[in-house]
Amino acid sequence: MMKSVNLAPDGSYVAGQARLCPDGTYVGDGGPISLAPNGKYVAGSPQLAPDGTYVGGYGRPTLAPDGSYVSGPAVLAPNGKYV
């Protein structure tokens, strides 16, 4: 299943529909908005990636071609980043 990539009002791209977090950032619609231990918001349950970052979702973080980690399959957004 391919994720949809959408432009958030702040110019960032998210997987699914953009939702506003309490700190003014946006996350996609992959679950409830949650605060990760590093102070950033994610969609779903915060998952610790091998590089020390947190991604949302409920499965293991996936390594994207650029070396970043995402939740689920990596999809390239128009800004060149993976979501």
How many separate domains does the chain show? 1
The residue type found at 72 is G
Q: Give yes or no for residue 80 having a pLDDT over 70.
A: yes
Nearest to 30 by CA among 70, 68, 62: 70
**Domain span holding position 40:** 5-71
What global pTM score does this model have? 0.88
Q: Calculate the alpha carbon distances from 56 to 14, 49, 72 in Å.
A: 12, 10, 9
Instruction: Answer yes or no: is 81 within a domain.
Output: no
For 49, other C-beta atoms within 10 Å of its C-beta total 16
27 in a structural domain? yes
pLDDT in tens, 13-41: 999 999 999 999 999 998 899 999 999 99
